[in-house]
Each structure stands twice: as C-alpha cells, then as structure tokens.
A and B are shown apart, each in its own frame.
Chain A
C-alpha cells in the first residue's frame, strides 16, 4: 500500500484485537476510513461497536495489531476527535453558551484568555445559531429538551473543528420526529464541514439513511474455529455514496431491502457466514486472514 493512499485514511486498523482478559471482543479487525466519510456502525448488542468507538476515541487501548488515527498511534482522547454521547455529553453546571465555549477556554493559553473571551463568546454564539438555539444560550442543560441537548452537544464538539466526529447512539433517547429532525441536521453539518463522522447506532434505518458507508459488526460468523469463543468482525460493509438523501428514500423498496439484508447478515445468530463470504462491497474494505484461518475458511466454503 502506497504512503500517499495511507495518508488519506483517517482511521486505519490492521489485525486489531481487543480483549478483556480471555474475553475477545473485537477479533482481527481490518478497517480503514477515507477522509470525509460518514461511517455508520451497526451490530447486535455486545458486538463491540461501542468498544470500537472507545478505541478510536483513545479511551481504551487495543490489545494487539495496528491502529492509526491520522497516521499516528493514539493513547488518550484529544481535540482531534470530538464526541457526542447519548447522555452526559453536556456539563450540567454550565449554561448552553458556556458548554459550547468551554473548549475554547480549555485550549486558550493564559495570554489568550485575557484577550479572547469576546471572540470565544462570538464563536460560541455562531455555533449556537447554527444549531438554532441562540435564544436558549443562557439555559442550563436540564432546562433543554433531549433534542436541544444533543444539538448543543454537537455544537460543543464542532467548535473544536475535530478531524473525526464520533457519535455514540446520539439519538437513541429521542422521539421519532426529533430524531429525523436531528438526522437532517447532522447531514447538513456533514455536507458543510466535510468532516469524517463515525456514527454508532442500533437503529438500522438510521444507519442506512445517514451513512455514506454502513459497517456491520457481528459475532455471528464462522471461521472454522469451532468451540472457540471468538470476537466480532466486520461482516458487511456497504458503499452508499456520498450524496445527501431526502427522507423520502426511507420509503423506497431498495432502502428496506438493504436494511433486511444487513439485519440478516449481522443480527441473526443462526446465520453464520464464513469469513470468506462476507459482503464487503465498499472499496475501502479489506480483510487479511492468517493462513490457518484462510485454509479452514476455504474448506468451510467448499463444504457448503
């Protein structure tokens, strides 16, 4: 792989394993993401999609293999990767305005702090306007609705202009209308900023609607290692194109077909595909198997 292509990948994992003691959560992950991609990640409960997010965030370290963010190893969360959680993203003791502004205060040097309070405030106001909450600047998070809270949390992350915006089931607690509203909102943000978004969700419809690339993790597959508990892998990886879709697309048959396919491939415990048969149509997707795995997998495929 040439260095030039490598540079273009914000996330690059090769043979990455994450295990807690003997419990392997992520098994031999090969994964790379191009700049500006909207990656949505789905998978059954406990398949390690949130673990994957924490690894990219730097909250945890992988056990073995390679993982590079922007071409470098990472050890802690930092400003290059913003995060929006489902809950607890906002600081409860600060107003909406202060919540958005606080990143600027954190990163300002002492000298800057003296002079740049006003500029920071203006910038925070700009982002609050962008998320449509300029009138609620003085409210504390508990006075805002769930949807408004998530908007502030997004603004809070955006002000730091992160390389990757990570979102961990951000709309999981919202009602369907607010959810769709915020889906359109994040698409607008994505189109405008062109940033890479890594969006974990358990809602398949949301994943297929939002993502320019849908990645499904699953622990339900076979690689010939019978009786061994194995961690999750990426079982399917679809390229959905980077054009923005309208909500009308949710009603189309192709849309629901894809949802059913992913549900079948990733969520059905009884459906164990061979590692060789994974549906990885995205140009960035790749998979390296050890010789042993490959050989066993080939046998499995033949026997089928």
Chain B
C-alpha cells in the first residue's frame, strides 16, 4: 500500500514537493538566523560577554552621546520657544562667551581672566594637596611603623577625619581669614586625615615577613623605613593622591564659591548671578579636563617609576 501511495504522490505532485522543500529550507534558515541573533543578544546581556576592542570603544561612547543628544534636544526645544534662552545655551552661545573670557583682557583689572582664574585655582589646589601629602606621608608612615605614634594619634585621626570639613569652614574662615590661607587650610584639613589613615593602612599591609627579613639582613630601624617601607608605600601613595584630588577640588570650589576674588569656581558662581550658563558649562568642562590631565600624569608616573607595582597589581 505504502509503495503505491508514494508512487502516486511522486508522479502527481513534483511541483508541490519542490515548493514544500523550499519552504522548509526558508524556515530552517530563518530559525537558524533568529536563534543566532537570540544567542548573541543573550550573551551580550550575560556576564560571559567579552567585548572586543572596537565594542569597548563603541560602548564607552554611548553615555556621552546620550548626554550630548539629550542636551541638544532640550536646548533646541527651548530655543524654538525663546531664541534668547539662557538656561540651556547653544554651542554658538557658549562659543561667544568663551571667546570673551579666554581671549579678551578684562578692562577693569587689565588681566586675562581665564589665565588668572586658572592659575589662582591651580595654585591653591596644588599647594593644598602638596602640604596634605607631606603631612600625611610623615604622619601616616610614623603611625604605620612606630607603635607609640599609632597608639597616640590613631584614635585622634580617626575621630577628626569623620568631621565634615565643610562644617568647620566657618571656623576656618573666622580663624584664618578668607584669603589664601583660609582656602588652602580647608583643602589641607579636608584630605590630610583621610590620607594619613590610608597611608597607615598601606604601611601595615606590607607583609610582616619583609620587616623580619630586613632585620635578619642587619637593617637598622631607619634603613627599614627608607629602604623597605618607603619605596613600597610610594606607589600606593601616588594612587592615593589620584583618589584624593577629587575631594581636594570639592573643597577648593567650596572655598572659592564662598569668599574669593578670583579662581575658576569664583567665576562659575559669579556667572550664576547672571544666569550665564554659556560660561558656566565651558568652565566646568575646563575643570574636568584639568582633573583628567592630572589623573593621567599621575598614572603615567606610576607606570614609569613603579612598573613592578603596576605589574603585580595587574597579575
């Protein structure tokens, strides 16, 4: 019976058969493609996804494009309603303001305000961070090394580092004045204690074996400090400065916002009075660029001078 049936079908409908096979083929290709796409999507959102170099760059660009796109969209919308809108200025509006700020000299003070502000802010920031670094280095190292220093100062440093520095800003300004001393002091007080605490931990993280080994090689206490501990803490210290530059900026901006005659943050807060967003946004961008550059330089120093540390950290 079967034999007969098959024979009949073959003879009668060769065309239909071909169509069926075609459909089957299209179906299987479709299923294949879809399942591949589905798998790719599934992998992409899973924790097994390994982005290629190109994919990494593309993914990294996404948030920036989103931010810029959103801004331009809303800026355009506001400018359609009111061409003189100041809240979300267009690129050309910003360009106008930046040109005045960067290129022209101020008539009243006969200075280039951009250069003057940048140098003033950088001076405060760098002096503040330098003083904090030296203080915390000496203090943190001694705390990590000498038990009596640790016992004397650790509870104090822990306690003081919890005080929000901005809360004592009025005290600093009343006590030390609103001039450079007050501003730099705020930065120093803001980060020194935290850096000291971190440095002490960095010293303690050096394996005990290293100290014992140095002693069996005849090292004096002083030699252990400057030949073993100091060189090993240095790279961690540089990383620490990278981290604490952010709070240092915070305190600088706070100090300049409240009482100052120049500085990048002073300019921002001055512009705020006139709702001059066209200048505020570029200055924020400029501050970010400076911060980015500092971070980059410190990273390069680490790569160049402390290769062993970077290599060990990266495994």
Contact = CB atoms under 8 A, between A and B. Distances in A.
A89 to B, nearest CB: 6
A92 B217 contact: no
Interface size class of B (residues with CB under 8 A): 20 to 34
B219 A88 contact: no
Interface string A161-180: 01000000000000000000
Interface stretch (A100-108, A184-192, A231-239): A100-108
A61 interface: no
Given A77-B215, A102-B227, A106-B219, A85 B311 contact: no
B216 A77 contact: yes
Contacts of B76: none
Contacts of A156: 213, 217
A160 B216 contact: yes
B220 interface: yes
A88 B207 contact: yes
B217 A103 contact: yes
A84 B272 CA distance: 65
B50 interface: no
B212 interface: yes
Nearest to B232: A93
A90 to B, nearest CB: 8
Interface string A23-48: 00000000000000000000000000
A211 interface: no
A77 B221 CA distance: 12
Contact of B308 (A78, A92, A103, A157): A92
B209 interface: yes
Contacts of B307: 140
A301 interface: no
Contacts of A157: 216-217
Contacts of A142: 308, 311-312
Interface in B217-262: 217-220, 223, 227-228, 231-232
A100 to B, nearest CB: 10
Contact of B228 (A79, A82, A91, A141): A91
A216 interface: no
| Most chain A CB inside 10 Å of its own CB: which residue of B212, B213, B231, B232 | B213
A87 B209 contact: yes
Contacts of B218: 78-79, 103, 106-107, 160
A193 interface: no
Contacts of B223: 106
A76 interface: yes
Interface in A117-158: 140-143, 156-157
A239 B278 CA distance: 88
A83 interface: yes
A148 B210 CA distance: 18
A79 B212 contact: no
Nearest to B209: A88
B214 interface: yes
Interface string A51-68: 000000101000000000
Nearest to B206: A88
B216 A82 contact: yes
Contact of B214 (A106, A141, A143): A106
A18 interface: no
A57 B212 contact: yes
| Most chain B CB inside 10 Å of its own CB: which residue of A57, A81, A87, A103 | A103
Given A91-B228, A102-B227, A106-B223, A83 B213 contact: yes
A24 to B, nearest CB: 23
A214 B23 CA distance: 81
Contacts of A102: 214, 217, 227
A83 B210 contact: no
B212 A83 contact: yes
A83 B207 contact: no
A89 B209 contact: yes
B235 to A, nearest CB: 8
Contacts of B212: 57, 59, 77, 83
B216 A162 contact: yes
| Most chain A CB inside 10 Å of its own CB: which residue of B210, B218, B228 | B218
Contacts of A88: 207, 209-210, 213
Given A83-B212, A91-B228, 18 more contacts: A77-B216, A79-B216, A81-B216, A83-B213, A85-B209, A88-B213, A89-B213, A92-B312, A102-B214, A103-B217, A106-B218, A140-B308, A140-B311, A141-B308, A142-B308, A143-B311, A160-B218, A162-B216
Interface of B: 207, 209-210, 212-220, 223, 227-228, 231-232, 306-309, 311-312
17 contacts: A57-B212, A57-B216, A78-B215, A78-B218, A81-B216, A82-B216, A88-B207, A92-B308, A92-B312, A93-B232, A93-B308, A102-B214, A102-B217, A106-B217, A106-B219, A156-B213, A160-B217
The 10 A-B pairs at the shortest CB distance, nearest first, are namely: A103-B217, A107-B218, A77-B215, A88-B209, A88-B207, A106-B219, A79-B218, A106-B218, A140-B308, A93-B231
